[in-house]
Amino acid sequence: MGFRQRWIAMRDIDADEAVKQLALRRTGEFEESPESPITGAKLASGWYIVVFDQKQSACPDYDLARTGVDVVTCELCETTMTCQSEAWADGSRTWAMSHDPDHGITDLRVDGTPPPHFAALRDELAAKQAAEPKDEVDYFFDLPTRTAGQFVGYQHDRDPLPGERFEVLEFVDPTRMVAVRRKRMAAMVMIAVIGGIIFFIIVSLGVQLARATKLLVHDLQNGTVSGRSTGTLVLAVVILAGTLIGVVRSRVQAARRKRDSTRNR
């Protein structure tokens, strides 16, 4: 299923203070790669990074403006090939970018002023994407992840570096993990229910449309077109079209809300 990960990196801060800022605590257990639900490490670049494996542990919504240090964060999901990253300094967001292939394979939304290495990285990946004939590989997915990763010296899919160790972390309040999981699960269930209802409506209307079409064709062949068959067909088409338009409109509105919330965070 690929990586589903969010990491938060802080500059000029020691491990104890970093985990305190995120309401976490250290366990003294270490591993070469961030495989546990929550891990932390001091990178060779000097940044301290906390990694949430979101297949095992959801990451709370932290107020990164209040950390008092420079922060870079990245969230990625290889299942949907979506990702976003952003940087904070002096309590303000300096840049943010996101990629969602549902808006096109080359989708990239950028706010603020990205770091200097972004331009060369964008040109490199854009050239690779242009050379991909069937868009089977999503190179633009790497733009937010690599822009943030090169900034702090971390990449989610790289091999472990010599001497680098990730410490297993846990929430100070264990109930917080449960609450975050429940909130996310409730949202997923609601999305599934709504999706099921919409699917049922579309399938039902499709069946009615097929029946009305068959009846109308039969009437045309016999030269006995009735107002009932024509009206049923028109009504089914109108309702089906309205439903599809409503679904598309809701997706557009959801995308806009997501974009606006990302800009205003």
**pLDDT tens track for 19-40:** 999 999 999 999 999 999 999 9
Same domain, 110 and 161: yes
Q: Residue 169 class from Cβ within 10 Å (0-12 exposed, 13-18 middle, 19+ buried)?
A: buried
Higher per-residue confidence, 255 vs 171: 171
Residue 264 lies in a domain: no
Q: Which helix (H) or strand (E) holds 15?
A: helix 15-21
Domain end call among 172, 202, 218: 172
Q: Is the pLDDT of residue 140 over 90?
A: yes
Position 210 scores a pLDDT of 75
Domain boundary among 150, 172, 194: 172
Same domain? 119 vs 228: no
DSSP 8-state secondary structure symbol assigned to residue 110: E
Q: Is residue 142 part of a domain?
A: yes
Note the pLDDT of residue 61.
83
Question: 18 with 78, same domain?
Answer: yes
Model confidence over 52-91: pLDDT tens digits?
998 877 788 888 888 889 999 999 999 999 999 999 998 8
| Pairing mode, strands 4-10 and 82-89 | unpaired
In a domain, 130, yes or no: yes
Categorize the per-residue pLDDT at 253 as very low, low, confident or very high, splitting at 50, 70 and 90. low
Question: How is 204-261 classified by DSSP, letter by letter?
Answer: HHHHHHHHHHHHHHHHHHHT---HHHHHHHHHHHHHHHHHHHHHHHHHHHHHHHHHHH
Residues 17 and 142 in one domain: yes
Which residue in 129, 153, 170, 146 sits closest to 24, CA to CA?
A: 170
Q: What pLDDT is attached to residue 254?
A: 54
Q: What is the pLDDT of residue 121?
A: 96
Relative orientation angle of helices 227-264 and 174-222, to the nearest 10 degrees: 150
Task: Indicate the pLDDT class of residue 216, thresholds 50, 70 and 90.
Answer: low
Considering the domain architecture, whether residues 100 and 39 belong to the same structural domain is answered as yes
The end-to-end CA distance of the chain, in Å, is 29
Task: Please determine, for residue 263, whether its predicted confidence score (pLDDT) is greater than 60.
Answer: no
- Confirm whether 178 is domain-assigned: no
Range of lowest pLDDT (10-19, 35-44, 152-161, 169-178) = 169-178
Find the mean pLDDT for residues 239-249.
72
Give yes or no: residues 138 and 223 share one domain.
no
Confidence check: pLDDT of 256 > 70: no
Q: Is residue 75 domain-shared with residue 99, that is, in the same domain?
A: yes
- Stretch 110-137: mean pLDDT: 92
59/190 same-domain check:
no
Is the pTM higher than 0.75? The answer reads no
Task: Report the percent of the chain where pLDDT is more than 70.
Answer: 79
CA dist 237 to 115, 204, 211, Å?
51, 12, 12
Q: Are residues 238 and 124 in the same domain?
A: no
pLDDT at 264 over 50: no
Q: What would the mean pLDDT of 80-106 be, rounded to a whole number?
A: 94
Q: Output the pLDDT for position 227.
A: 62
Task: Count Cβ neighbours within 10 Å for each residue of 176-201 and write b for 16 or more, e otherwise.
Answer: ebeebeeeeeeeeeeeeeeeeeeeee
Q: How far is it, in rounded angstroms, from Cα 77 to Cα 184? A: 15
Asked if residue 157 and residue 39 are part of one domain, the reply reads yes
Q: Give pLDDT, residue 151.
A: 94
177 found inside a domain: no
Question: Residue 265 pLDDT > 70, yes or no?
Answer: no
Side-chain half-sphere of 252: how many Cα atoms within 13 Å?
A: 6
- Domains contained in the chain, number: 2
Position 110 in a domain: yes
71 lies in some domain: yes
Range with the poorest average pLDDT among 75-84, 91-100, 119-128, 244-253 = 244-253
3-state secondary structure of 246: helix
Q: Which residues are 109's β-sheet partners?
A: 98
Residue range of the domain that includes 225: 183-259
Both structure tokens of 114: 């990205």
**Domain final residue, candidates 144, 172, 200:** 172
257: pLDDT confidence band, cut at 50, 70 and 90? very low
- For residue 198, is pLDDT > 50? yes
